[in-house]
Structure 1
Amino acid sequence: MAFIEALILPLRVIQAVFAIIVLGVLAYAANDWAYYWSPSQVNFLIFTSVWTLLAVAYLVIAPMHFKTAAHKFGILAAETITMLFWFAGFIALAVLLTDIDCTAHTGKYWGPCRASIAGDVFAAFEWLLFTATTIMAALYCWRTRNERSGKHDPAVEVHHV
């Protein structure tokens, strides 16, 4: 458990940093995509980035300061919903980028296209990070399934030094 305790804060920091990167890159792509519209896939990943920043704030602050708000199933729900948002978002954007043939050899390798590719790559890594933390939360819920306590796993709590 000590390994997980040491791992959770860097994972949360990376999750927040990747969300900010995706937010910035895809905000540029949405702004510069076309004159009057931006693809809904890009817009959804922008929403997911903002959602993630709020979710990471909850996942870090609630176990430290608001113990009653850090129920083990609440944490599992926040992790799972965020993981599913990232999965749906990066797959949908990848399909869009394939459909519009966003590749170097077609000459369509313009700014919003390149930014969308970069945002999609970071979104895929974000999905992997949330998959890992969701598995940790699910394993804790499984291990404590017979306990009546809704207490969160102290091993995945962010400890301040």
Structure 2
Amino acid sequence: MDVDDEGQDVTLREFEEIDIFADAMSRRGQREIPVRYVDELDQFPDGVIICEESVAALISDRWSLQRGNIYSQVFLIAVGRGPKNARMVESLGAAGAIASGRYRVWRTERGDDPGGGVFGRKDVAVDMGAMWASPGLWETDRYCLMWHDTYPSLPELLSAYLLTYQRKVLKLFEGKGQ
């Protein structure tokens, strides 16, 4: 539980507006992108899980999975900014990340979303036609902080990235006309 601006008790899920974010991604991707907490999962999913790094550790413990083996299916949200965190995401082999400050901007300024903000694999960014600054503070050998003119908001960009990532890297949706 947390407390909102009016002093009312709200769940963390409500406070972080997680379902609103997932709904915005689902509308753009025309495919439901469910948000589940560890205690709501009955098995490890086939696609990407969006969560904080601490939740990824709980997931690996719950199903006795090696942490290094699950990160290709983990998109980290609310990570710190800067080169150290960019290198950490790359060393984990995570699907990607969003900095906590960027997520906060989306939550507080939805109508004026500056776009961009997905830190993900360069090969996936190239496949989806995204751009990035090089050199950049959030650039590593294989990852970049991207933006795309076709996807002007953070949820839209993340939705497009995850769909491309799941097709390219996880080989999901093959043979399904997607």
TM-score by length of 2: 0.24
Rg (Cα) greater in structure: 1
Considering fraction of residues, name the structure with more helix: 1
- If asked which structure has higher relative contact order (CA below 8 Å, sep 6+), I would say 1
Which one has a larger percent strand, Structure 1 or Structure 2? 2
Return the TM-score normalized by structure 1. Answer: 0.26
